[in-house]
């Protein structure tokens, strides 16, 4: 097997496609994976274990850079197929230090009606939400709008809480994570058959000349104290 650089961004889109999607950062990966992965389903052909494994010895050496939701979901799927990856994480533990609540909104991503049920059924990922989402309140300069429904979606934990998506995935993982390692995907390409980049930023894509910036975006956050409904998402 060639040591040619093959870097894949294995990204689990909880909010966008809610499925496994391999985004190729080098042309050789598509050829290798064609016929193994059915597009945009996360389902595998019956022969996949024969392709990945022979006489109890692993054919693929896979490195995963990043132990966020994308990297951990990738590691769990590889373990399910009998492949033990090597996982590297730059921080000293799972989850970013800033705790937050994210929203999975059913209305925005049809035809998927229940995103967590879809992940459990098609991707073998059973995740517990922080709470069901029953209302969205949007505040503008001069008006306030409210959307209410029995189930608009889910609120999910992110960060270092034991209930965060990251730690729920990590709790099911048998492969150890190598913490506080600044892994270089270009250097690791010669040591592994595949390098899965799940760093959560654009550094590797920029280095490979595969990054295209369409428009700049600045996001500012704030902590607001007050009395809020627990199953309501507030947008300002």
- In Å, how far are 92, 131, 200, 213, 220 from 217, measured between CA atoms? 29, 29, 16, 10, 10
Is the pLDDT at 43 greater than 80? The verdict is no
Render 106-126 in DSSP notation, one character per residue: GGGGTT-S-HHHHHHHHH---
Which residues are within 8 A (CB) of 136 and not within 5 positions of it... i.e. 6 or more apart?
A: 105, 146, 147, 152, 232, 233, 234, 235
Distance CA 225, CA 109 (A): 30
The answer to whether residues 150 and 174 belong to one domain is no
- Is pLDDT above 50 for 185? yes
Residues 117, 138, single domain; the answer is: yes
Q: 40 — alpha (psi -120 to 50), left (phi > 0) or beta?
A: left
| Number of separate domains in the chain | 2
Of 68, 73, 58, 60, nearest to 88 by C-alpha is 68
Provide, rounded to the nearest whole percent, the portion of the chain with pLDDT above 90.
33
139 and 223 co-located in one domain: yes
CA distance 173 to 175: 6
**Does residue 34 sit in the same domain as residue 121?**
no
pLDDT at 91: 92
pLDDT at 76 over 90: yes
- In this predicted structure, which of 77-81, 96-100, 121-125 has the lowest mean pLDDT? 96-100
Among 224, 225, 221, 201, which Cα is nearest to 211's?
A: 201
Structure tokens at 96: 């970013």
Mean per-residue pLDDT, 182-209: 87
Determine how β-strand 194-197 pairs with β-strand 62-65.
parallel
Q: What is the CATH number of the domain that holds 38?
A: 3.40.50.720
Here the tokens at position 56 are 């109890």
Mark whether 135 and 228 lie in a shared domain.
Answer: yes
Lowest mean pLDDT across 40-44, 136-140, 181-185: 40-44
Name the pLDDT band for 42 (thresholds 50, 70, 90).
very low
In a shared domain, residues 169 and 75: yes
Range of the domain at 43: 7-94+162-207
**pLDDT tier at 36 (50, 70, 90 boundaries)?**
very low
Q: Which residue has the higher pLDDT, 78 or 19?
A: 78
Least confident of 24-33, 56-65, 127-136, 144-153: 24-33
What's the mean per-residue pLDDT of the chain?
A: 75
Asked if residue 131 and residue 224 are part of one domain, the reply reads yes
Domain shared by 176 and 226, yes or no: no
- Same domain, yes or no: 82 and 154: no
């Amino acid at each position: 097997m060639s040591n040619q650089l093959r870097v894949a961004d294995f990204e689990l889109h909880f909010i966008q496609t809610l499925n496994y999607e391999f985004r190729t950062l080098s042309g050789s990966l598509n050829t290798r994976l064609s016929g193994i992965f059915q597009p945009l389903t996360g389902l595998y052909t019956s022969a996949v274990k024969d392709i990945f494994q022979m006489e109890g010895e692993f054919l693929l050496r896979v490195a995963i850079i990043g132990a966020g939701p994308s990297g951990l979901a990738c590691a769990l799927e590889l373990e399910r197929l009998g492949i033990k990856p090597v996982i590297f994480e730059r921080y000293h533990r799972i989850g970013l230090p800033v705790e937050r609540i994210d929203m999975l909104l059913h209305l925005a991503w049809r035809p998927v009606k229940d995103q967590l049920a879809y992940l459990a059924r098609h991707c073998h990922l059973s995740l517990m939400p922080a709470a069901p989402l029953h209302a969205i309140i949007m505040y503008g300069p001069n008006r306030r709008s409210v959307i209410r429904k029995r189930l608009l979606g889910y609120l999910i934990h992110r960060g270092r809480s034991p209930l965060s998506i990251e730690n729920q995935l990590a709790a099911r993982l048998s492969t150890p994570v190598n913490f506080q390692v600044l892994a270089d995907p270009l250097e690791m390409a010669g040591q592994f058959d595949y390098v899965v980049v799940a760093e959560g930023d654009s550094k590797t894509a920029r280095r490979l000349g595969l990054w295209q910036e369409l428009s700049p975006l600045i996001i500012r956050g704030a902590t607001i104290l007050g009395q809020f409904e627990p199953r309501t998402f507030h947008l300002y």
